[in-house]
Amino acid sequence: MDAPQSIYLDHEGNLMGITQKDLAASLVTRMQNADWYSDYSDDAEVRMRGNKQINAINADMRLLAHSNGGAMQAIQLWHRHAPNDIPASPRLFRAASLELQQMARGDQNPVITLVSSLQDRLNSKEGNSLIERHAKYRELQDDLHRLTEYWGQEIKAVRLFLSSTYGIDNPIPPFLKKHLQLLPMNEKTLDHAEGQVKRVGMLESFTPELKEAMLRGDAQIRHPFRKEYERELVNKEGKKETVKDAVNIEQYWKKSSTTDNYFLNKFDAELQKAGKDQTVKQTFYLSGKKGVKNAGDESENRQDNKQENKPQTRYTLKESYNLLSGRPVYKELTNSKGEEFKAWVQLDLRDKLPNGNHKMKMYNENYGFKLDDVVRLYPIKDLLNPDFKKRLMESLERGNLQKVTFVGKDKKQETVYISPSITNGSLNLYGEDGKRIPLETQAQKEWITKDFAKEQKVRFEQKNKQANAQDGSKLKQNFGQRVTKLFKRGA
């Protein structure tokens, strides 16, 4: 249900153009269907659409809160239908403060109503079967949860009212704040953890098993999770089929030594590509804001990999999938001095470190790769459209294998999948069958010039020689180490 376009408050605080009941019903429908986490999407259109939804909800919520008798209703709607980690506006609390005080004097107080309902159900002798008792228990549990919410909101509203009315020297608000902190500690712990998995794109991993381990107070938690990514391929018969790449995740959580909060310090990601026997694995370390580490992770990082001297960042699940697939990702990083910089990062899948991780190569602005200049070397359809180009650039920077249309010889259009090749200063091109398109074919189709194809071929051969030389050197080094160990054993 959409709210009317022309709704407003008159000078007496009455809603015009819609009733409170209809506006509340409209808000419930829109809040239930809203994409609250669109900011974490790879798709610019999804983010834009989500922001538009949330802005409209906030605007109508303010109207409801400032209408006569609508403040408490707005608070209740928000806490019933908005995600737990997205706080209501302080304006809603201020609008509700006077209304709450009036309600507390009468029988309309939601706390009193709920307590009365709970007492009636507890005293009821109906429903003696096991199933009926379980259903009754669940209803009571829901009401207790709502009771905690209402009571917490009353304290918040009164505290804000007192602060705004009597100033910060009033001793009552700190007292109420202290009591408020004692109410939903478990809720806060879970909300804090849920916010972390959302930021790294792993909301599906926030399972009842993980929550239970946190509520038990386990000092350290290892939590497995599996995510599948679908791809469309054209098979040998020329038919399109959907294949799935699987990423197996192991999350490492650690409880703070000073609070009940948990921190996701790192996660292992193992990629199993569709149709491939071998897997690729990497441990991704997560930092806090702007290079500041999460509480509780310093000792672990120092002991295992000495991360404090490395650039700090936060990798999402999708970025880990793209990196394990061999594609580069453009990241905002923070060095050990707290200085921010941007760079392309890419796993060297041929080079492993002693800890089992693949070496992470980094290409900053001084390397000279400019994605904007590179994409213009290719006949990508609609590239002159600013919106299309913006979405394309954002997708490639996130490491996605992006589907585009090329316009080649005789204006023939073909579907191509592209990804940046940082070291070659070009794009890697793949056909609908998932195979890389050779430079010769690209030149024949007039997607690139013959001179550019020759230049790319020389770069590619030089890179292969360097890689083979490094592999040979490592083989010799490893062989020498094994021989030394054998001699030591013999001695």
C-alpha span between 213 and 216 (Å, rounded): 5
| Separation CA 159–CA 161 (nearest Å) | 5
Pairing state of beta strands 279-285 and 358-364? unpaired
Residue 124, pLDDT score:
63
For residue 84, give the H/E element and its range: none
User: Given this model, what pLDDT does residue 294 score?
Assistant: 34
Q: Which pLDDT score, from 0 to 100, does residue 293 have?
A: 35
Which residues, at least 6 apart from 342, have a Cβ–Cβ distance to it below 8 Å?
Answer: 330, 331, 332, 333, 364, 365
Calpha distance 408→402 (Å, rounded): 18
- pLDDT (0 to 100) of residue 299: 30
The candidate with the shortest Cα–Cα distance to 96, out of 76, 123, 125, is 76
The conformation of residue 312, written as its DSSP 8-state character, comes to B
Nearest CA to 154 among 82, 84, 96? 96
Chunked into runs of 10 residues, the chain (491 residues) has average pLDDT values of 66 83 91 81 78 88 83 77 68 54 49 59 58 62 64 62 58 56 63 90 92 88 95 89 96 91 94 93 75 33 38 79 97 83 94 91 93 96 93 95 94 96 95 94 94 88 71 53 50 47
